[in-house]
A and B are shown apart, each in its own frame.
Chain A
Amino acid sequence: MIHHRWSGKRALLAVTSMGLAAALVAGCGGTTKDSAESGSGSGANSEKVADPNAPIKEGLQIAFLPKEIDNPYENIVDQGGIAAVAELKGTGKEVGPSDASASSQVSYINTLVQQNQDAIVIAANDPNAVAPALKDAMAKGIAVVSYDSDAAVDARQVFVNQADSESIGRSQIQMVSEQIGGKGKIAILSATPNATNQNTWIEFMKDELKKPEYKDIELVTVAYGDDDDQKSFQETQALLSSNPDLKAIVSPTTVGISAAARYISSSPYKGKVVLTGLGTPNQMRQFIKDGTVKEFALWDPEQLGYLAGYAAAALASGQITGKEGEVLKAGKLGERKIGKNGEIILGPPTTFNADNIDEYDF
């Protein structure tokens, strides 16, 4: 009898501990910015005709809605956007939720509609969750631009993309190949294993490696630091110790590259292993200056916001409607052609090194 009672308790314990373990696993989710790929379909306002010579209206009210209000990256983007709106004699503001969950932006969109904003610029947390609210806004004549992370194609007029995934992926390989002299073993330190952005880039990196000029470069493995400092640190250690002849690590995520740089800068691998990838200049300044990292890349987030600000103003003034082939005049950035599905691309990523890093502050 006694035995039975104990085994009952033991079963209960097993169940509770399973639950605990599940909670542990679930609690460790990493954060990764993902931009949804655009599908098919056309903008809702495609019937309207663009007047490329229409003047930009003065006093436009344009709101920037980031994924979350405390995201440092998005704040820089929005600063660029607000600066663009100011250039055009309008009023720009940034509002947003404190968490990046799928539905948290909806109430903000509704409020902005009630405030009669002329345009909403949004980095969608979820392409579909915000779609009904955005369609409602468009129906009331408000221009909707998505940037950084797209909303559903029929729920916005224009999507301002930082750079196309292909050029990001391929340029990473070109950069690392140049630094290791086109020969040797390399590894990738990514974010989470299911991060959309990173996985798309890595596919293009692998594709680029198939080209004959990279035949002497071998991609040993892809490690995942989960965009967590400690995990990225440990993955870097593992990469270096399990591949003694590793020539370079490419980390296409800002958390990964800075953690890897910090580890390498205080280890015997400094100066022997090349580290490159995507990072922000402020984060990497120290490691460029102490020689750990020679070169890395990123699009300029401020320019991304700037371009989105111009796109929003042009839409609200009727200069563009979001149709393929229209041309957006974007102040100091020059002109951008609108591509398929209303997509505007900022341009190839900027490369940072010891010569130019002090010109950037983000």
Chain B
Amino acid sequence: MSRLRALLSGRELSIVVALVAVVGVTTATNPSFLSAQGIHDLFLNASIIALLAIGQTLLVITRNIDLSVGSVMGLTAYMSGQMFIADHDTPTILVVLAGMALGAACGAFNGALVAIAKVPALVVTLGTLYVFRGINYGWASATGVHQINADQMSQGFLAFGSGSILGIPHLTLIALAALVIAAYALHNWRSGRELYAIGSNPQAARLAGIPAGKRVFTAFVVSGALVGLAGVLHASYFGTINASVGTGRELAVVAAVVVGGVAIFGGSGTVLGAVLGALLLTTITSALPILGVPAFWQRAVDGAALLLAISLDRAVMVRLAERLRKERSLRRA
């Protein structure tokens, strides 16, 4: 029993084991996978999706979901570019703050519809997925700026996206900071714990006096701000932006969160798990071409990883439930 419990709470551990296995096999094939540059690249690749996964976790824990993340990210990335077109020397920090503010505003819009108008998040964010993308296309069309290129952005901004401190990329440091803050808040703050309560049983949470609407709204705003940050970082990292940045990213994020052990029906999971899930999935994507898996198969492998994670979760849950039932009947007898 205790071993089972340890396994459950040690979801992060099992992702780490999977990660070590993937890295181990790939490194055996090609030692440079684990070179300084290789590790640098692995963390860099995972950073943006990790930020999105942290925000998504806050929502999934409360039994909500945000499918509009790709569109919000695209909108903030595009705004970053527009800011540089307006003034080539816009300070990087201003772009970051503006991006987070726009992301938070989009999150507030989603959150208001979910928390106040009581529309299911799946439907609301499916709608805003198209609305925000439409605004992005409309903006590009109205201004005639369809693509913003590296030479139009300030050198400082581009250097920020590709730079590193002591070999750790800036993007990874930002993702780590977000991870530490979110993990602490979810674990120690009263409002953080209440998010789990809302996701476990919304009715019970409300009866217990938890301001569910307010908490869910806040979760959407915070998540939106993180998505906005991710959009700005995308712009500074890739240096090429058009109106379709982030298209389809929502699915990758949900996959990372689920692989990371956050229950899709709310109430359990950690941001650390979600971030590790993101790291595992991007590492697999990086490893497949090195292992020589043909391009045609790579997506199938991604999907299989997702299915494997869900099946493992389910198997553990089933066994735990059976154990609990047996224990209970023993106690009664």
Contact = CB atoms under 8 A, between A and B. Distances in A.
Contacts of B147: 72, 280, 282-283
Given A24-B251, A70-B140, A193-B295, A242 B310 contact: no
Interface residues of A, number: 52
Nearest to B250: A27
B141 A25 contact: no
Contacts of A289: 151
A258 B32 CA distance: 24
Contact of B314 (A13, A70, A280, A286): A13
Interface in B296-333: 296, 299-300, 302-304, 306-307, 310-311, 314, 318, 322, 325
Contacts of B120: none
B162 A266 contact: yes
A27 B242 CA distance: 19
A2 B147 CA distance: 59
A287 B238 CA distance: 12
A235 B289 CA distance: 7
A223 B296 CA distance: 11
Interface string B222-238: 00000000000010011
Contacts of B300: 25
B251 A70 contact: no
B92 interface: no
B114 interface: no
Contacts of B33: 241
A69 B248 CA distance: 20
Interface in A191-214: 193
Contact of A234 (B48, B144, B286, B296): B286
Interface of B: 30, 32-33, 35, 37-38, 41, 45, 48, 137, 140-141, 144, 146-147, 149-152, 158, 162, 234, 237-240, 242-245, 248, 251, 255, 282, 285-286, 289-290, 295-296, 299-300, 302-304, 306-307, 310-311, 314, 318, 322, 325
B146 A238 contact: no
Interface string A126-164: 000000000000000000000000000000000000000
A107 B330 CA distance: 71
Nearest to B42: A237
A231 interface: yes
A10 B141 contact: no
Nearest to B36: A268
A244 interface: yes
B36 to A, nearest CB: 9
B1 to A, nearest CB: 19
Contacts of B234: 229
B296 A193 contact: yes
B151 A282 contact: yes
Given A14-B307, A69-B141, A267-B37, 12 more contacts: A6-B318, A6-B322, A20-B306, A24-B255, A25-B300, A70-B243, A72-B147, A229-B234, A241-B30, A242-B289, A262-B239, A283-B149
Interface in A279-317: 280, 282-283, 285-287, 289
A259 B299 contact: no
B238 A259 contact: yes
A70 B133 CA distance: 12
Which 3 pairs across A and B sit closest by C-beta, in order of nearness?
A72-B146, A266-B162, A286-B150
Given A238-B290, A242-B290, A72 B239 contact: no
Contact of A72 (B158, B162, B242, B318): B242
Contacts of A10: 314, 318
Interface string A71-112: 110010000000000000000000000100000000000000
A352 interface: no
Contacts of B251: 23-24, 27-28
Nearest to A7: B318
A266 B44 CA distance: 12
Contacts of B286: 234, 237-238
Interface string A16-33: 011011111101100100
Contacts of A248: none
B162 A282 contact: no
12 contacts: A14-B311, A21-B304, A21-B306, A21-B307, A25-B300, A234-B286, A234-B289, A241-B37, A242-B30, A258-B240, A283-B150, A287-B150
Contacts of B32: 241-242, 244
A286 B149 contact: yes
A285 B35 CA distance: 31
B322 A259 contact: no
